[in-house]
Amino acid sequence: MLHTRTTPARRRRDLREKLASGRLLRVPGAVDPLSARLVQETGFDAVYLSGAGLSASLGLPDIGLTTATELAARVQQLSRATDLPVLVDADTGFGGPLNAARTVALLEDAGAAGLHLEDQENPKRCGHLDGKRVVPREEMTRRIRAAADARRDPDLLLMARTDARAVEGLAAAIDRAKAYVDAGADAVFPEALADEAEFAAFRAAVDVPLLANMTEFGKGPLLDTATLENLGYDIALYPVTLLRLAMGAIEDGLRVLADRGTQESLLPRMQTRSRLYELLGYEEYAAFDSAVSGFTLPPGA
Ligand X SMILES: C[C@](O)(C(=O)O)[C@H](CC(=O)O)C(=O)O
Is residue 50 a contact point for ligand X (CB under 6 A)?
yes
Our answer to whether residue 11 is catalytic in this structure is: no
Minimum separation from the CB atom of position 177 to ligand X (A): 16
Q: Of the listed 37, 213, 233, 244, which one is catalytic?
A: 213
Minimum separation from the CB atom of position 142 to Mg ion (A): 21
Is residue 89 a contact point for Mg ion (CB under 5 A)?
yes
Minimum separation from the CB atom of position 19 to Mg ion (A): 21
- Beta-carbon count within 10 A of 142 CB: 17
Is residue 188 a contact point for ligand X (CB under 6 A)?
no
Q: Which residue of 110, 134, 239, 243 would you call a contact of ligand X, by CB under 6 A?
A: 239
**3-state SS record for the chain:** CCCCCCCHHHHHHHHHHHHHCCCCEEEEECCCHHHHHHHHHCCCCCEEECHHHHHHHCCCCCCCCCCHHHHHHHHHHHHHHCCCCEEEECCCCCCCHHHHHHHHHHHHHHCCCEEEEECECCCCCCCCCCCCCECCHHHHHHHHHHHHHHCCCCCCEEEEEECCHHHHCHHHHHHHHHHHHHCCCCEEEECCCCCHHHHHHHHHHCCCCEEEECCCCCCCCCCCHHHHHHHCCCEEEECCHHHHHHHHHHHHHHHHHHHHCCCHHHHHHCCCHHHHHHHHCHHHHHHHHHHHHCCCCCCCC
Is residue 76 a contact point for ligand X (CB under 6 A)?
no
Is residue 190 a contact point for ligand X (CB under 6 A)?
no
Our answer to whether residue 213 is catalytic in this structure is: yes
Q: Which residue of 16, 18, 26, 128 would you call a contact of ligand X, by CB under 6 A?
A: 128
Is residue 165 a contact point for ligand X (CB under 6 A)?
no
Is residue 183 a contact point for ligand X (CB under 6 A)?
no
Our answer to whether residue 175 is catalytic in this structure is: no
Look up residue 149 and give its amino acid.
D
Taking CA atoms, 64 is separated from 58, 120, 155, in Å, by 13, 10, 27
Is residue 93 a contact point for Mg ion (CB under 5 A)?
no
Is residue 127 a contact point for ligand X (CB under 6 A)?
yes
Contact (Cβ atoms closer than 8 angstroms) between residue 227 and residue 196: yes
Minimum separation from the CB atom of position 57 to ligand X (A): 11
- Residue 116 interface partner, choices ligand X, Mg ion, none, CB cut-off 5-8 Å depending on type: none
Question: Segment 243-282, which members bind ligand X (CB under 6 A)?
Answer: none
How far is 20 from 183, CA to CA, in rounded Å?
21
Q: Of the listed 11, 12, 37, 91, which one is catalytic?
A: 91
Q: Which stretch binds ligand X (CB under 6 A): 12-20, 33-41, 46-54, 263-271?
A: 46-54
Is residue 51 a contact point for Mg ion (CB under 5 A)?
yes
Is residue 36 a contact point for ligand X (CB under 6 A)?
no
- Residue 162 interface partner, choices Mg ion, ligand X, none, CB cut-off 5-8 Å depending on type: none
Q: Which residues bind ligand X (CB under 6 A)?
A: 29, 50-53, 62, 89, 126-128, 191, 213, 215, 218, 239-240
Active site residues: 48, 62, 89, 91, 116, 118, 126, 161, 191, 213
